[in-house]
């Protein structure tokens, strides 16, 4: 079984500090290259074997697939066969959860994540990640898995910051972390297959500070 080096703790502290100051953080080369390569292979082979499902939008109970709003195909990590790369990624996110809790006192309790693949033409219209039916989502995390990404390939993450929009290229290893309730964002139309892992740190349901 391949082993992957752990993510350096000082990187995680930088993510937490930036999130505390700005409400978002973008880190390039966030995880070891071997781990990124393996996660990218996993995502692309799930797509090739038709193991990803069209993602839905809408409230619980009335979820519908509307590719014009959201065109990605997903599979939750919990529904994938266990593998060392996924385990190493979840461990890195567990370390990040601790770093965020130490710095921000958010009471983050667990992490849910899915692979996502946007085929050419797909995007995700402007939205925020926390909605009424899902009030526990607190911090959003996106890891990009596109080792071949070039300018012109599209699929940038557009963050609507108070001073204006900022576009983040979905290059392999870039980790985008932002507050789920307050930062509107959008995925610009992809021109070639765009792979990622998208996840959320959730608060404890009984957290009395929860809004
Ligand atoms: O992949 C991205 O850049 C963001 C995806 C997203 O906003 C979401 O799945 O809620
Ligand atoms: Fe989102």
Q: ipTM score of the complex? A: 0.99
* 186 beta partners: 158
What would the pLDDT profile of 14-44 be if each residue is shown by its tens digit?
Answer: 999 999 999 999 999 999 999 999 999 999 9
Beta carbons of 157 and 196 less than 8 angstroms apart: no
Q: Is the pTM of this model over 0.90?
A: yes
Residue 196 CA to ligand 1 centre (angstroms): 9
Report which ligand 1 atom has the smallest distance to the Cα of 118.
1
- Chain centroid offset of residue 35 CA: 16
Residue 185 CA to ligand 2 centre (angstroms): 6
Beta carbons of 182 and 38 less than 8 angstroms apart: no
Mutate which of 198, 199, 201 for ligand 1? The one with the most ligand atoms within 8 Å of its CB, which is 198
* DSSP per-residue codes, 84-141: HHHHHHHHHHHHHHHHHHHHH---EEEEEEEEEEE-TT--EEEE-S--TT-TTEEEEE
Beta carbons of 40 and 147 less than 8 angstroms apart: yes
User: Domains, the chain, ranges and CATH?
Assistant: 9-56+67-203 (2.60.120.620)
Reply yes or no on whether the pLDDT at 207 is more than 70.
Answer: no
What would the pLDDT profile of 82-132 be if each residue is shown by its tens digit?
Answer: 999 999 999 999 999 999 999 999 999 999 999 999 999 999 999 999 876
């Amino acid at each position: 079984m391949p082993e992957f080096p752990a993510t350096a703790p000082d990187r995680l502290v930088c993510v937490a500090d930036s999130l505390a100051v700005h409400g978002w953080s973008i880190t390039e080369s966030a995880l070891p290259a071997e781990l990124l390569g393996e996660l990218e292979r996993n995502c692309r082979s799930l797509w090739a074997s038709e193991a990803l499902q069209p993602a839905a939008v809408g409230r619980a109970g009335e979820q519908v697939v509307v590719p014009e709003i959201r065109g990605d195909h997903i599979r939750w990590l919990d529904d994938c066969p266990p593998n060392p790369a996924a385990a190493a990624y979840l461990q890195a996110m567990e370390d990040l959860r601790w770093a965020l809790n130490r710095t921000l006192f958010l009471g983050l309790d667990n992490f849910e994540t899915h692979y996502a693949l946007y085929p050419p033409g797909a995007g995700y219209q402007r939205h925020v990640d926390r909605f009424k039916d899902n009030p526990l989502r607190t911090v959003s995390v996106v890891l990009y898995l596109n080792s071949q990404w070039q300018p012109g390939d599209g699929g940038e993450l557009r963050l609507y910051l108070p001073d204006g929009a900022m576009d983040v290229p979905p290059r392999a290893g870039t980790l985008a972390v932002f507050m789920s309730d307050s930062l509107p964002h959008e995925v610009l139309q992809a021109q070639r297959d765009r792979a990622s892992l998208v996840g959320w740190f959730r608060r404890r349901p009984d957290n009395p500070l929860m809004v």
